[in-house]
Structure 1
Amino acid sequence: MKTLLLVDDEARMLDLLNIYLSPVYHCIMVKSGREAVVHMKNSYADLILLDVMMPEMDGWSACAKIREFSKVPIIMLTARNEKSDVVKGFQLGADDYVTKPFDEGELLARIDALFRRMDDKDTKAVHFKGLKWDEESHELTYEGQQIQLTPKEFSLLGLLLKNPNKVFSRAHLLESIWENKAFTEDRTIDSHVRNIRDKLRQANFPIDLYLSTVWGVGYKWVPKE
């Protein structure tokens, strides 16, 4: 079940959205734009329904802040339907715009349509237990939080992820990822694997369960249940 983050300063609206959406999605409710930003920095959601008119931090500001570190789909909710507001939302990174009062069926249809569009863009991505390796955007995320890898680390991890249970020798990895093998050594692979493990551990992904060393040969990705 996908997770929606519902953001509105009106308790009645949050309750209404939860009634509409909880039969289909797992819903998390927060009452301010600031809470939404904090949640997305520390946790995860597959999509955000974000009210525009809120005190302290409005929906536009929250959208802009979230876009600094996340590409999570965002649907803006507002009682205003002026064209300038719609344009502003899209310019700040929103994916869709729904005007209050809204029809329950239309809201569900818009959410479903947005998820379908995101899935179509995901054809070059590998998903594994909250980890997402995205070739098109050249990004690695875990539960929505970005993990910074060097280009070689990214390519090395992707090769392993896309070929589960296949053992890659160090020579094979050097040939596949380093174009000029003559100026690299086997220990280069070990150094990059060590960096990948360190970075994923820091992101709280249990990398040691899946990235396995095959002693005397190389490495493989083991997709344990």
Structure 2
Amino acid sequence: MRLLLAEDEAHAGEYLVKGLSENGLMVDWVRTGPDALHQVDCVDYDLLILDVGLPEIDGWELIKRIRRNHAMPVLFLTARDRIEDRVRGLELGADDYLVKPFAFSELLARVRVLLRRGKQQESDVLTLADLEVHLLRRRVERAGRRIDLTAKEYALLLLFMRRQGEVLSRTVIAEQVWDINFDSDTNVVEVAIRRLRAKVDEPFAKPLIHTVRGFGYVMEERE
């Protein structure tokens, strides 16, 4: 199992690398957000341990970018102990959230749980009905037919596929896909979803992207 640790504090980083390595885990350690992003794009990690307060790109922004293309488990390890911060981390796509200071035994237990879960769920393909997204090849198919998407359309589809059955507001979609705070005068979300539907839904018998009036959009198979 290979882990990436994104932690800017030297003492904490050395402590974690030593402890995790002694327990049979390979650990790469980076100290800035851009370095973490580069490593995630270059190496297939089994788990990311992520501090919020990283230089240049903080943990909040980093997980948003990572979740567009990667499904690895993410554990936030941070001194930010407010309920609002925990909720934010989980809503942005983290699988767990551990507050500093912590007992190493608890961290190790959580790491092992996430690694087991990730191994059980590990797959190169996200599926819903007859729609398939092949992550490594960045290939989308429905009913065996290839669908060509732009980068933003692909990111939008990944967001829906990873959160199947969950109603996503326009605010969440805009933040996750475009890195913008939603402006009610902006129709970028509606335009993108219309274009995605034209490729993923309209040529086929059963739509998968549904509008939930007053709330947002959901991707799911319906009878």
> Which position in structure 2 is the counterpart of 1:209?
none
Give the structure with higher Rg (CA): 1
> Which position in structure 2 is the counterpart of 1:49?
49
SS of the residue 1:22 aligns to? helix
> Which position in structure 2 is the counterpart of 1:87?
87
For residues 40-74 of structure 1, what are the alpha-carbon distances to aligned partners after superposition, in whole Å with 9 as ceiling and x for unaligned? 12222110000011221111111111011111110
Structure 2 length normalisation: TM-score? 0.58
> Which position in structure 1 is the counterpart of 2:206?
none
User: Identity, % of aligned pairs?
Assistant: 35
> Which position in structure 1 is the counterpart of 2:68?
68
> Which position in structure 2 is the counterpart of 1:21?
20
The number of aligned residues is 142
Residue 148 of structure 1: which of 121, 136, 139 is its match?
A: 139
SS of the residue 2:8 aligns to? coil
Instruction: Tell me by how many angstroms 1:104 deviates.
Output: 1.0
Determine which structure has the larger helix proportion and give its number: 1
User: 5+ unaligned residues in a row in structure 1: which ranges?
Assistant: 126-131, 155-225
> Which position in structure 2 is the counterpart of 1:12?
11
SS of the residue 1:138 aligns to? strand
- Within 2, Cα distance between the matches of 1:44 and 1:5? 10
SS of the residue 1:98 aligns to? strand
Structure 1 length normalisation: TM-score? 0.58
Amino acid at match of 1:56: E
For residues 72-92 of structure 1, what are the alpha-carbon distances to aligned partners after superposition, in whole Å with 9 as ceiling and x for unaligned? 110001112110000110111
Amino acid at match of 2:141: T
- Within 1, Cα distance between the matches of 2:39 and 2:132? 24
- Within 1, Cα distance between the matches of 2:78 and 2:125? 34
> Which position in structure 1 is the counterpart of 2:38?
38
- Within 1, Cα distance between the matches of 2:125 and 2:93? 22
Q: How does 1:40-189 map to 2 (within 5 A)?
A: 40-122=40-122, 125=123, 132-135=124-127, 138-142=132-136, 147-151=138-142, 152=144
